């Protein structure tokens, strides 16, 4: 038995309160090394009187990766307290006791010692990780507003190009707006989606709007607040939730706060709103895009000088951003916030953010843009979920890119699942393509039958699936900006058969949402191709 591979951590994804009374416990062991695992558990105050350590409960091997097996059991406690340890039996028939003080031979003098057990002192409901229940039943549709539909040519920016006249470059405008979304709500209803994730709609200079000028104003090229309110109301009438994109890591250089810094330098009242290393900040040529930060006198998003990074540790910045976050909930009744570049903003701020928005709307959905393992943000006091790129990358690498074997895909997926509490996995945001990645049909090299397989497989996973606009009709596109092409509205140019397939997939997912989200799935590998 490889005792060094045995691992557990209390009050984490290895031990968590799933419902008000049901507590789930996991144990990790070396793959194919352990024959059986039992849990010894009971109230910490009755170990000597009830001798509950004599009643072993078998754990079930739930998931495996290429290197580890994971064991799980669900227990309850009438007193809302729990003390527990593990009896581990190896394939070589050796056994051991594993508890809070480490690993010991399985002996009477060990299993009767209270201090050798892990403890959950009390099941505090306020600490239980929860997600909005509606998220489990939601199929999202991501809209990049500038490219979805041009419903009002009167608000087109200067030099707007004819719709779909060319593949997009980074600076192109095609006139997409909120009226275009309003005009196609019937289309979205027909598809069956019940959630819209909007890329930023606030006033900004670029076509993507991630360089915010004013968080309180709808970009004039998209419409106005009255139109936005009508759009949200109409969506809600159709059972469609709305999620906005919050760009709180950085601002645009044309924001009034940054312009004040440019004008007044060290005397600016906003100089501490940003991470400025030296003055003057305009000494850097804004038109150049550097490969390093050496010559930029302030921190930015990536090495992008027109997106200066906000100092979210500054109380003034915190108040400003939290007021914005609550404003759009109170005034427009949005249902979720997607948080851009969430991993580069401090945890302290996100904890304040969660408290502020859930006080206004307890069932609002908080989604962080994080592309890697995200345990630190998913402890119950920050986000409900992250964009699940790390999980779906395994699916794409196997089906579309053919970089890994089936067992490696399942191993990668299972590894990601075991990083989090089950509630996290039930509410995570699953996507195969987005405004930041190549479209899934392009990754499948135009093979629509393969694309259908990938989509169907993703829709069967725990979490809340998302369709990137146009995927359902066969749109293609390489990485940004090519993945941001104009939506095709001409019926003769749409793949209607594919639309029908995706529509059926959405319907099936909604019917099976509870089974998929709260059930348990294990994949049988029939052919582990190279």
Q: Which two tokens stand for residue 418?
A: 């075991």
CA distance 199 to 207: 11
Output the pLDDT for position 402: 93
Residues identified as active-site: 340, 369
> Residue 304: pLDDT above 90?
no
Can you give the pLDDT at residue 288? 53
The three-state DSSP-derived secondary structure of 360-383 is HCCCCEEEECCCCCCHHHCCCCCC
**pTM (2 decimals)?**
0.95
In this predicted structure, what is the pLDDT of residue 290?
52
**Model confidence pLDDT, tens digit, residues 438-480:** 999 999 999 999 999 999 999 999 999 999 999 999 999 999 9
Mean per-residue pLDDT, 285-309: 75
- Tokens 């509950």 locate to 52
Q: What pLDDT shows up at residue 265?
A: 94
Measured between alpha carbons, how far is 96 from 90 in angstroms, rounded to an integer?
9
Pair 259, 306: CB distance under 8 Å: no
Residues 6+ apart with CB under 8 A from 212: 200, 202, 203, 204, 247, 251, 252, 255
**Residue 360: is it exposed, middle or buried by C-beta count within 10 angstroms (0-12/13-18/19+)?**
middle
Q: Binning pLDDT at 50, 70 and 90, where does residue 280 land?
A: confident
Q: What is the pLDDT of residues 209-256, one digit of tens each?
A: 999 999 999 999 999 999 999 999 999 999 999 999 999 999 999 999
Question: What is the average per-residue pLDDT within 389-404?
Answer: 94
Hey, how many other C-beta atoms are within 10 angstroms of the C-beta on 311?
Answer: 19
Strand pairing class (95-99; 464-468): unpaired
Percent of the chain with pLDDT over 90: 92
Look at residue 295 and tell me whether its pLDDT is greater than 80.
no
Give the residue-averaged pLDDT of 346-364: 98
For range 259-268, the mean pLDDT: 95
Average pLDDT, integer, range 279-288: 63
Dihedral angle over CA of 509, 510, 512, 517, nearest 10: 90
User: Taking phi first (over 0 means left), then psi (-120 to 50 degrees means alpha), and beta for anything else, what does residue 214 get?
Assistant: beta
Tokens of 81: 């307290």
Rounded average pLDDT over 495-515: 95
292 pLDDT tier (thresholds 50, 70, 90): low
Return the DSSP state at 389.
H
* Residue in 495, 527, 421, 506 with CA at minimum distance from that of residue 458: 506
Average pLDDT, the chain: 95
pLDDT at 285 exceeding the cut of 90: no
Round to whole Å and give the CA distance between 354 and 178: 28
Of all residues in the chain, the percent with pLDDT exceeding 70 is 97
| Pairwise pLDDT comparison (228 vs 291), residue with the higher score | 228
- Per-residue pLDDT of 3-44, as tens digits, reads 999 999 999 999 999 999 999 999 999 999 999 999 999 999
Is the CB of residue 196 less than 8 Å from the CB of residue 186? no
CA gap 44, 107 in Å, rounded: 19
Confidence of residue 514 (pLDDT cuts 50, 70, 90): confident
Question: Please, are residues 334 and 357 in contact by the beta-carbon 8 Å criterion?
Answer: no
Q: What is the DSSP annotation of 215-261?
A: EEEE-TTT--HHHHHHHHHHHHHTT-EEEEEE--SB--TTSHHHHHH
The per-residue pLDDT for range 96-118, each reduced to its tens digit, is 999 999 999 999 999 999 999 99
């Amino acid at each position: 038995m490889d005792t060094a591979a045995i691992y557990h951590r209390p009050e984490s994804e290895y031990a968590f309160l799933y419902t008000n009374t049901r507590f789930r416990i996991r144990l990790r062991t070396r793959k194919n090394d352990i024959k059986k695992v039992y849990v010894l558990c009971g109230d910490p105050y009755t170990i000597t009187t009830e001798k509950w350590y004599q009643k072993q409960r078998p754990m079930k091997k739930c998931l495996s990766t290429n290197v580890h097996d994971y064991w799980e059991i669900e227990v309850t406690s009438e007193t809302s307290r729990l003390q527990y340890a593990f009896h581990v039996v190896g394939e070589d028939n050796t056994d051991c006791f594993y508890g809070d003080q480490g690993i010991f031979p399985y002996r009477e003098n060990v299993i009767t010692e209270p201090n050798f057990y892990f403890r959950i002192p009390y099941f505090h409901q306020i600490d239980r990780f929860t997600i909005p229940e509606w998220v489990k039943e939601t199929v999202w549709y991501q809209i990049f507003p500038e490219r979805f539909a041009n419903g009002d040519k009167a608000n087109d920016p200067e030099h707007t190009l004819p719709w779909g006249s060319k593949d997009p470059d980074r600076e192109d405008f095609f006139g997409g707006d909120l009226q275009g979304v309003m005009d196609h709500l019937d289309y979205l209803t027909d598809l069956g989606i019940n959630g819209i994730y909007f890329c930023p709609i606030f006033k900004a200079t670029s076509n993507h709007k991630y360089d915010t000028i004013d968080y309180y104003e709808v970009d004039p090229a998209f419409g106005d607040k009255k139109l936005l309110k009508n759009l949200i109301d109409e969506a809600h009438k159709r059972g469609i939730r709305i999620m906005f994109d919050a760009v709180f890591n950085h601002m645009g250089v044309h924001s009034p706060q940054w312009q004040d810094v440019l004008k007044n330098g060290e005397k600016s009242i906003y100089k501490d709103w940003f991470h400025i290393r030296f003055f003057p900040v305009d000494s850097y040529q804004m038109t150049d895009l550097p490969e390093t930060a050496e010559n930029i006198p302030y921190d930015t998003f990536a090495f992008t000088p027109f997106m200066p990074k906000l100092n979210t540790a500054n109380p003034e910045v915190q108040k400003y951003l939290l007021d914005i976050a609550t404003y759009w909930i109170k005034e427009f009744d949005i249902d979720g916030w997607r948080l851009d570049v969430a991993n580069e903003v401090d945890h302290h701020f996100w904890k304040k953010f969660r408290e502020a928005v859930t006080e206004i709307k307890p069932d609002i959905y908080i989604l962080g843009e994080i592309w890697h393992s995200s345990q630190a943000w998913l402890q119950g006091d920050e986000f409900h979920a992250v964009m699940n790129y790390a999980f779906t990358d395994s699916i794409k690498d196997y089906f579309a890119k053919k970089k890994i074997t089936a067992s490696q895909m399942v191993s990668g997926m299972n590894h990601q699942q075991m990083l989090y509490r089950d509630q996290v996995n039930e509410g995570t945001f699953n996507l195969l393509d987005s405004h930041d990645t190549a479209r899934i049909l392009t990754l499948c090299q135009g093979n629509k039958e393969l694309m259908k397989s990938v989509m169907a497989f993703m829709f069967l996973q725990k979490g809340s699936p998302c369709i990137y606009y146009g995927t359902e009709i066969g749109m293609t596109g390489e990485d940004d900006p090519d993945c941001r092409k104009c939506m095709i509205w001409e019926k003769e140019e749409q793949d209607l058969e594919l639309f029908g397939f995706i529509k059926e997939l959405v319907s099936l997912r909604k019917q099976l949402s509870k089974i998929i989200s709260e059930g348990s799935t294990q994949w049988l590998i029939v052919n582990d191709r190279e």
